[in-house]
Structure 1
């Protein structure tokens, strides 16, 4: 599998689709790996050039000592895109992945031509909230923290179904160091001003049952960008690409068509 070293940290990424296809970049959420996007892939157009990666501290990427900064996470994504020679792409980011997308769009207009901001915001929580989360994870471990976290992630129907178990397992297996490192990066981020300066096509996606980034928070961020679109997915939580993959992929495809990316 492709890897790149940046700032002494090895980053894992995966590519699929034709090298000359329209490019899309997927950036996943805190506590998950690039496999977060597996459920939607069968429903996407087969000629897309897809780039996915594991952020530092997650999945098959290296776990450096915490804390991390949002600047590091953005530079990691930039390095992956440069290594994969991806340009003029639609960046699809969920939760912290959406924060990374906002920062990369400001920094590298040649890479990001358009944004999909799913279940994310310009600012998520506050430093006190994230410090409490870090303290709890360090005290109890990811295994004990996984259930209360996934209760905030998923809508009630999905949480109570057997389909939820693999995602709770993914979170349980996450690195404490990597998880807490990214928590610190989120805690220190406020993108209201830079995001309000963006002038690129943008789609916001929210889940009606999202306990982590409620719909009003997502809409508030997306509304910072003139001409943006917004979709509310009913009976979905923080990870609608997992709960309703076909519908999520349908929203993505419709947006890509609307901006002439397909």
Structure 2
């Protein structure tokens, strides 16, 4: 089922809901949409899986950039409020993992556990993200697509052409807006105060958030689990869906969700 949910500022967010049962909210990475999770949805039978396209991505509206991380967190909050959902497990990849951290801090009633995949409390530098913004504004997504893919996947990943096309479909303004959100985000202090079940997932070939970065995140949350997927890059739900799904479902079972 797909529907339109309005963010607090009125931005229309494209939301999909699959199945029934305990709720799982999935937050996409930069430059991807709800299709990021397609490979693991069959493993989540018996759950109510909610996905949404970040503002500026997929079928959501594209307000003028820049965006702030707090706004992206508020968008996730609005999705769950509109669906009257409490105590969800929030699964986020990359910038989606940062959104998950922010939502867990802001709305503990909405979040009972987090799965933080290929992410950190701070990703990159303000200068790096500004260079990415400048490139996209000058040359569109074509200006960054190949460099981004090199950070996402191993060179011989068979579906590279498909994900290249999907990245090119991302609105340049929306991509730049979320780059600005990343440039200004440092979640060290709020995330270090989290006390909830957490699984932190890394890929040993990730060029964007290497395993040591993800392990540092895990060390901030007492009792969290760290899981390394070998042979995987920045998007393990794409290049290692079975391994990712197994880690996720084992975690869900362990916490009784």
TM range (shorter): over 0.9
What are the superposed Cα offsets for residues 166-212 of structure 1, whole Å, 9 maximum, x if unpaired? 11111011101000000000110000110000000000000000000
Q: Distance in 2 between matches of 1:52 and 1:191?
A: 23
**Partner in structure 2 of residue 226 of structure 1:** 222
**Partner in structure 1 of residue 43 of structure 2:** 43
**In structure 2, which of residues 183, 188, 192 is the aligned counterpart of residue 196 of structure 1?**
192
Question: How far is 1:222 from its partner?
Answer: 1.5
* Partners of 2:132 and 2:144 within 8 A in 1: no
Q: Distance in 2 between matches of 1:127 and 1:202?
A: 27
**In structure 1, which of residues 229, 249, 252 is the aligned counterpart of residue 248 of structure 2?**
252
Q: Distance in 2 between matches of 1:84 and 1:157?
A: 40
**Partner in structure 2 of residue 187 of structure 1:** 183
Question: CA-atom RMSD, angstroms?
Answer: 0.9
* Partners of 1:143 and 1:173 within 8 A in 2: no
Return 5+ residue gaps in structure 2 as ranges: none
User: How many residues of Structure 1 are paired with residues of Structure 2 in the alignment?
Assistant: 255
Question: How far is 1:87 from its partner?
Answer: 1.1
* Partners of 1:34 and 1:53 within 8 A in 2: yes
Q: What's the TM-score, normalizing by structure 2? A: 0.97
* Partners of 2:135 and 2:143 within 8 A in 1: no
What are the superposed Cα offsets for residues 231-262 of structure 1, whole Å, 9 maximum, x if unpaired? 0111110000000111110000000011111x
**Partner in structure 1 of residue 77 of structure 2:** 78
Question: How far is 1:43 from its partner?
Answer: 2.4
Map of 1:1-262 to 2, 5 A cutoff? 1-6=2-7, 7-18=9-20, 21-44=21-44, 46-158=45-157, 161=158, 163-261=159-257
Q: Distance in 1 between matches of 2:13 and 2:167?
A: 19
* Partners of 1:152 and 1:210 within 8 A in 2: yes
Question: How far is 1:4 from its partner?
Answer: 1.4
Q: Distance in 2 between matches of 1:79 and 1:92?
A: 16
Q: What's the TM-score, normalizing by structure 1? A: 0.96
